[in-house]
Structure 1
Amino acid sequence: MQQTLFNLHEVILLITVTESLLLALGIIVIPKKRPQSHCLLAGLLTLIASILLATLLVWSSAVQQTSALYSSLLIAILSFGLLAQGPLLYFYMQSLTKHVNFYSAAVALHFSPAVMSVVIILVFDLTLFDWLPHNWPHIANYKHNLILFIWAGFKCLPLAYTVLCCTAEYRLRKQLQDRYSNIPFWELRWAEIILGGFSLHWLWAFVAYWLSGYVGPEVNQQMGKISDYVTAALINVLFGFTLWSGRKALILPDISDHKRDSSIVENSEEKLAAIRHAIDVDSLHLEPHINLERFSEHCGVKPREASTLINKHYEKNFFEIINYYRVQEVKKRLSENRTSTVLDIALASGFNSQSAFQRFFKRFEGITPTQYRRQANSPSKRPAQRVSGNFP
């Protein structure tokens, strides 16, 4: 019987490697507002491709029968990739809200475990032969301990980056809410899916590492394959994240502190009055795509100052205060207009997402828009007025 060139697991790895590299190339050539974020995401995809390819070669019986068995190159690449993927994902998440300075000592510290693993492998001449568990009884004790030390690093350290990445995602969410009045609910979910996928992957690797001493070789091999399959699934999620959220909401321009020379007002009372005028008179909340930068420019106030004043005076962020006034507009129109649909009124009042409209209306009023209209049109059942927070 003719032996197959690759088994199913190896084919999946090869397909994922190819897909990762194609995605990385596509991300680089896509027009971009924030080049650093795109470059970091492309770098992460390239790193994943190198990890999967090195994994395929390290555990390939065909490779183990060649001179590569006594080379350190493959395991150096694999170790660096496994220890660098956590920091790279973390800095990618950070780059969505601010520029990352890669010349800082803090960044170097994050990548130091990956660099240290390569140095250990090269200095102590740890080869692929030394790396394979079934050869451990035949290698020097110090080599065995060094390999266990490196293994522990790339099985346990990524869990710390799960926490760091979740923190970066939380900051991203808060900044988006402070700057944009309309953020479709699913767009914020993409980052959570990415973090959830990597967290699941790293948690599985951590559990498999600690169970490896209690299960047989075949079970260990299956657990390793499952980890590879999770990585393959993540590649497709990353593609969706980049194609939708990355292009629409999550890759944002920096908030600039540009001044309008003649129109910048000086004291807080005047700035607050300008903010009130923008809502009460100019009705900027009715613009579906209004954001903090455009709102602030209209008021003649710096974006950071406008955000601070809104948070301090209304005890709500820009995202919430704009949608509060939209809800008030919807209530007014629901009471006056009995022919238009609720959705048409919501769209005319500045909302461009039905889910966001429903969520905010019920949050501020305690009932659905349909229930409110029914009560507003019934003389005996006028809806009670609800006020949430320090709204005027």
Structure 2
Amino acid sequence: MTGMTEHVQPLVMHVTGARPNFPKAAPVLAALADLPVRQLLVHTGQHYDERMSEVFFRQLGLPAPDVNLGVGSGPHGAQTAAIMVGLEELVLERRPDLVVVYGDVNSTVAAALVAAKLQIPLAHVEAGLRSFDLTMPEEINRLVTDRLADLLLVTSPDAIAHLGNEGVDPDRIHLVGNPMIDTLLRHLDELDVDSARTLVGLPPEEPYVVATLHRPGNVDDPADVAELVAAVHGVADQVRIVIPLHPRGRERLQAAGLLDHERVLAAEPLGYLEFLALVQGSVGVVTDSGGVQEETTVMGVPCLTLRPSTERPVTITHGTNRLVTRAQLPAVMAEVLSAGRAAPGTTPVPPLWDGQAGPRIAAVLARHLGL
């Protein structure tokens, strides 16, 4: 009709870049699809290997990214800067009404800095997690992103306390649950343990442990790597251990003799469904990853975390997780193997880890956008 202007729906820009982001973003994108908003999915290309990135989009039903910045790997400063350059240009061009970031990777903090400097409102999914270990690059990313965010979407009550202690306005904090658990619960019935065993070359019926190890504190220093390999071999003396080798640290671990033990089985990085199926069929997990601590909590799989601290203490108080040192690992694994896995449904699960975090997040974002 003449004289009337067409109402333009608000634009929400989602910034993802690394493997841990994708299962967190999928439920949010799906929930927002039912609302009168436009969505722009940006993949920075921080993880660019097929097994580390693109396979996740296929398996999680994520739409193909609208933009892929293709920054690739590199030192923290160079990678973060490259992401900022690409995002700044994109934000100036598209002028989103809201930028949504996920987790604690370099793409997250880069997007937070760009949004803040260009005065675009910012929502941080998985806000408030703290390890209190400033040697972790992820901890720096968390602190900076939360300081800049307008909406802090938290997965657990301890995160609310951390943000409160840092002086964050309570009105900006929203307990929404864990969207990564939405994705896990949605795909739980699709996990094919037998196919995953075959994929990595495990003999039928043999018990096994899964390990994921890539943190700088475990794989950067040669002395740490030597200790880690000795600890892994101590586990392998008791049970087969399968390790999908992350590109980070792969050469150092192999050079230190990781594969010299006959019961250590290396695998390439796996897709989302294949990895979770492998975890589902295991007798336990050894990890230094944050997300794996959460997934094992919901799946009821014993998890030993090779770190001095965790930003996810709720996985210890309401889950199956336990912090161990490298020296402790073989003995604690012996306890795990002796106890066996708990019966399904008998381990506690954190509040609101119920598969509905995506809709809760979408509701918070919609209110912010005035919908």
TM-score (norm 2): 0.25
TM-score (norm 1): 0.24
Task: Report which of the two has the higher share of helix.
Answer: 1
Greater relative contact order (Cα < 8 A, sep 6+): 2
Which has the higher Rg, Structure 1 or Structure 2? Answer: 1
